[in-house]
Chains A and B, each alone.
Chain A
Amino acid sequence: MDVNRSELLDEPQALVLLKSGDRRGVEALLELHQKEVYNVALRMLGEPAAAQDAAQDALLRAFMRIDLYRQGEPFGAWLHGIVRNRCIDLLRIRSRGAAAYPVQPSAVPDAESNAIRNLEAQGVRRALSRLSPRDRALLLLRYWEDRPLDEVAGTLGLSQGAARVALHRARRALAGQLSTMETGA
């Protein structure tokens, strides 16, 4: 079997190649990071096509501005920061309710517990899609992307205190949406 040489490269080697303008560096870094970058975008934007565009944009920005990457910093974290910022920009200009968060691929219709769990998850995602873009971004960054509060605050241009309050309100808004949906159902 023909093995692509880029698949054998580790991250530091790939970064050296990328910096020297070698395409194999890009291929190897894509191999290592494209799935996670795409899934960050998918979780934040909720739409596969928009996630693909955002991920592609972020990856290209990162690869073409690799001179801004500081040696020693985890490359994956740097890359994820770029894609998260891109998604936040997109969420800011988006209208409310635009996202339709993807159904989990592991859905097994004949397993009752899975079905119940999926229904619950879909309800939460539907409630999330009804929140304002800022509330959505706060919840996504903090609880789906597990970012620390100071980073969430920095990404959204808030002080830590303001982010704490905004997060509290976003949780209340989510709980309110869930309650409305459950009452209406």
Chain B
Amino acid sequence: MNCSQARPLLAAGDPAADAHLEDCAACGDWLEAEDRVIARFRAARPESLPAPAGLRQGVLRGWVPARRRWVTPTLLGGAAAVLVAATIFALSVYQSALLVTAGEYSRPVLGGFAGPRELLLDNLSGLVGLAALSLLAMTVAGFLYRELGRPARGRAR
């Protein structure tokens, strides 16, 4: 089908010419020039209205500077890492009777209980690994918070 065959069909809204229209930019332009509904539609475009005051307030309330967006996840991740490290340190220094008892009772089943001291303090690479994992967790938490966190909605009602 060529353009002169397709145009009467297109003007009549016959879908038989759609395949031609899909490949023919000239017929698309021709249709737009011919179609009176476009002028009617354009004339109905609403005039601009002033932006509502709540829009500005909502944006200003919801906006958080990029640098500050890192503060919350970093502080939370840091606090969690410090808590974990402090707990492990406390347990390793003051191995409680409970842990010792648990180790003795678990020996037949688990073949012995390695306390945190054995696991970490006597093993420097374990401590370094824990610190590295904590840092990695903090970084991942911050990255996810930044990438996936949606802006807070603060529209004034």
Contact = CB atoms under 8 A, between A and B. Distances in A.
Contacts of A162: 22
Using C-beta atoms within 8 Å of the partner chain, give the interface range for chain A.
35 or more
Contact of A178 (B25, B40, B67): B40
Nearest to B47: A104
Interface residues of B, number: 44
A30 B56 contact: yes
Contact of A143 (B13, B38, B51): B38
A167 B10 CA distance: 12
Nearest to B15: A169
A175 B49 contact: no
B44 A124 contact: yes
Interface in A16-66: 19, 21-23, 26-27, 30, 34-39, 42-43, 48, 52-53, 55-57, 59-61, 63-64, 66
Contact of B41 (A39, A102, A143): A143
A125 B42 CA distance: 10
A63 B151 CA distance: 10
B63 A60 contact: yes
A164 to B, nearest CB: 4
Contacts of B37: 171, 174-175, 178
Given A21-B68, A67-B66, A164-B22, A171 B49 contact: no
A53 B50 contact: no
A162 B22 CA distance: 6
B60 interface: yes
A94 interface: no
A105 interface: yes
A52 B55 contact: yes
B13 A60 contact: no
A38 B62 CA distance: 17
A34 B51 contact: yes
B40 A171 contact: no
B42 A143 contact: yes
Interface in A110-125: 117, 120-125
A153 B60 CA distance: 33
Contacts of B22: 161-162, 164-165
Contact of B66 (A55, A64, A164, A171): A64
Contact of B47 (A34, A61, A105): A105
Q: Which 6 A-B pairs have the closest CB atoms?
A: A21-B65, A124-B44, A161-B22, A60-B151, A121-B44, A38-B51
Interface of B: 10, 13, 18, 21-23, 25, 28, 31, 35, 37-38, 40-52, 54-56, 58-60, 62-69, 151-155
Given A117-B43, A121-B44, 12 more contacts: A34-B55, A52-B155, A56-B155, A63-B59, A64-B64, A64-B66, A64-B151, A104-B47, A105-B49, A171-B38, A178-B37, A178-B40
Interface of A: 19, 21-23, 26-27, 30, 34-39, 42-43, 48, 52-53, 55-57, 59-61, 63-64, 66-67, 101-106, 117, 120-125, 128, 139, 143-144, 149, 160-162, 164-165, 167-168, 171-172, 174-175, 178
